[in-house]
C-alpha cells in the first residue's frame, strides 16, 4: 500500500505554514523558465517532474547574501550586534532529487573546521520534499557521478506524480513523516521515476587521473570558449564559495557573506595585484579539481550531483560535463 496526497491538501499545508509565519519555497514560473522562489501564495506552486528549474535549492540554506553582524557607533562606543538567528520553519517543495542530494555534501563543508551556524540553523529548520524526476534531458549526468533519478539522499520526503493532481508520498526521515502525518490517504497506486540517463564518463577514472595530474594541458583548450561569468557556479547545487564584505559607512554598516566564484578573475586577486589564477584555464582547472579530486580526498564524496545545471544554462554551451568527458577520454588512452 502507498500513501497519496492531493495538490489541494499540499496547498492547504502551505497555507497553514505561511499563516504560522513559516516559509514555503517551490519552483515558480517566471517568463518561460522556472525558478525556486519563496511562494507568495500556494497556487503558484508548480509540481511537474519534467521541468528543470534554473537555480538550486541551496540558496535556501546558503543564500546569495546574508548579514553576519551589524556595527554602529554610538558616540565613541562601537556596538556590534550579531544577525538574528534563522528560526522560521521552512519547507521546500518540488526539489529535484539531484538537487537535494547536494545537501548531505554541503553539510560536511559547513561543519568542517568551522561550524557555520547560518547554514546549520537553516538546515535544521527546513524540510525538503523532492519530486520524482520524470525526464532527464541531455544535460543530465547523475548516473555518471554515482547517483540516479531515484536518489533519495537529502530528501525528507518525496512526491511522485500520479496524474489528476495526486501524488504518492514517500517519507524518508522523521521530519518528512511529521510533515505529512495525517494528511495522506492509503492507496494502491504507486508513482514512477524516470529511466536513468546514460553514463557519460567513468568517475573513478576521472578522479584518479585528476589526483595524479594536478595541472593538465587540456584546460587551455576546454576553457577557450568560456567567457568567465559565474553562472555555472551560482546555479550549481554544490558550489559553496563565499566572500565576506563590509558594507556601509564608517559610522554604521554590516558585515555580509556574499556568494563568490572561482570563475571570476577577482576570486584570487591579491592585494599586490598578482593573480595566481590569472587565466580562465587555471580557473577551470580549479573548479574541476575541487569537485573531483580535492573535495573527495577530504570528504570522500565528489562535489557534484550531475544535475546538469551548469551545462544547461551556460551561454557558451560548456559547463563541467564536456570537460569531464574529455578528461575521461584522455585518461582512458
- C-beta of 35: minimal distance to other proteins in Å? 6
Which residue, 165 or 216, is less far from other proteins as judged by CB? 216
- C-beta of 155: minimal distance to other proteins in Å? 24
In angstroms, rounded to a whole number, what is the distance separating the alpha carbons of residues 275 and 309? Answer: 28
- C-beta of 328: minimal distance to other proteins in Å? 11
- C-beta of 234: minimal distance to other proteins in Å? 5
Contact 281, 220 (CB under 8 A): yes
- C-beta of 116: minimal distance to other proteins in Å? 18
- C-beta of 161: minimal distance to other proteins in Å? 25
Per residue, what are the HEC states of the chain? CEEEEEHHHHHHHHHHHHHCCCEEEEEEEECCEEEEEECCCHHHCCCCCCCCCCCCHHHHCCCCEEEEEEEEEECCEEEEEECCCCCCCEEEEEECHHHHCHHHHHHHHCECCCECHHHHHHHHCEEEEEECCCCCCCCCCHHHHCCCCCCCCCCCEEEEEEECCEEEEEECCHHHHHHHCCCCEEECCCCCCCCCCCCCCCHHHHHHHHHHCCCCCHHHHHCCCCCCCCHHHHCCCCCCCEEEEEEECCCEEEEEEEECCCCCHHHHCCCCCCCCCCCHHHHHHHHHHHHHHHHHHHHCCCCCCCCCHHHHHCCCCCCCHHHHHHHHHHHHC
Which residue, 9 or 280, is less far from other proteins as judged by CB? 280
Phi, psi values for residue 111, rounded to 5° = -130, 40
- C-beta of 316: minimal distance to other proteins in Å? 6
Start-to-end CA span in the chain (Å): 50
Neighbouring-strand partners of residue 179: none
Which residue, 195 or 266, is less far from other proteins as judged by CB? 266
Which residue, 170 or 291, is less far from other proteins as judged by CB? 291
Which residue, 140 or 166, is less far from other proteins as judged by CB? 140
Contact 39, 203 (CB under 8 A): no
Which residue, 35 or 172, is less far from other proteins as judged by CB? 35
Phi, psi values for residue 29, rounded to 5° = -80, 135
Which residue, 31 or 300, is less far from other proteins as judged by CB? 31
Which residue, 32 or 76, is less far from other proteins as judged by CB? 32
Which residue, 85 or 248, is less far from other proteins as judged by CB? 248
- C-beta of 19: minimal distance to other proteins in Å? 22
C-alpha cell at 43: 497556487
- C-beta of 45: minimal distance to other proteins in Å? 17
Residues that bind other proteins (CB under 8 A): 30-33, 35, 37, 54-55, 64-65, 67, 70, 138-139, 220, 223-225, 227-231, 233-235, 243, 245, 247-248, 254, 256, 258-259, 261, 264-266, 279-281, 311, 313, 315-319, 321-322, 325-326
Amino acid at each position: 500500500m502507498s500513501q497519496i496526497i492531493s495538490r489541494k491538501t499540499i496547498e492547504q499545508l502551505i497555507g497553514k505554514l505561511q499563516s504560522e509565519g513559516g516559509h514555503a519555497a517551490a519552483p515558480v514560473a517566471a517568463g518561460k523558465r522556472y525558478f525556486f522562489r519563496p511562494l507568495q501564495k500556494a497556487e503558484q506552486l508548480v509540481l511537474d517532474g519534467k521541468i528543470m528549474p534554473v537555480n538550486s535549492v541551496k540558496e535556501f540554506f546558503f543564500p546569495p547574501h546574508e548579514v553576519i553582524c551589524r556595527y554602529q557607533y554610538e558616540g565613541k562606543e562601537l556596538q556590534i550586534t550579531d544577525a538574528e538567528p534563522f528560526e522560521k520553519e521552512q519547507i521546500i517543495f518540488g526539489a529535484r532529487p539531484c538537487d537535494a542530494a547536494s545537501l548531505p555534501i554541503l553539510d560536511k563543508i559547513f561543519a568542517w573546521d568551522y561550524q557555520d551556524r547560518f547554514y546549520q540553523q537553516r538546515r535544521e529548520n527546513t524540510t525538503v520534499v523532492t519530486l520524482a524526476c520524470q525526464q532527464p534531458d541531455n544535460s543530465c549526468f547523475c548516473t555518471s557521478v554515482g547517483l540516479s533519478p531515484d536518489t533519495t539522499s537529502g530528501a525528507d520526503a518525496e512526491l511522485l506524480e500520479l496524474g489528476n493532481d495526486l501524488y504518492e508520498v514517500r517519507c524518508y526521515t522523521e521530519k518528512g513523516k511529521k510533515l505529512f502525518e495525517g494528511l495522506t490517504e492509503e492507496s494502491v497506486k504507486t508513482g514512477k521515476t524516470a529511466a536513468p540517463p546514460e553514463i557519460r564518463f567513468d568517475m573513478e577514472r576521472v578522479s584518479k587521473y585528476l589526483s595524479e595530474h594536478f595541472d593538465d594541458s587540456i584546460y587551455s583548450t576546454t576553457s577557450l570558449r568560456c567567457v568567465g561569468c559565474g553562472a555555472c557556479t551560482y546555479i550549481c547545487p554544490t558550489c559553496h564559495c563565499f566572500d565576506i564584505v563590509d558594507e556601509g559607512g564608517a559610522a554604521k554598516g554590516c558585515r555580509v557573506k556574499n556568494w563568490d566564484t572561482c570563475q571570476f578573475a577577482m576570486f584570487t586577486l591579491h592585494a599586490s595585484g598578482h593573480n595566481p589564477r590569472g587565466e580562465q584555464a587555471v580557473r577551470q582547472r580549479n573548479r574541476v579539481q575541487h569537485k573531483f579530486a580535492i573535495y573527495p580526498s577530504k570528504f570522500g564524496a565528489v562535489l557534484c550531483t550531475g544535475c546538469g545545471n551548469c551545462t544547461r544554462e551556460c551561454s557558451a554551451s560548456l559547463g563541467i560535463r564536456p570537460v569531464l568527458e574529455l578528461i575521461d577520454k584522455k585518461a582512458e588512452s
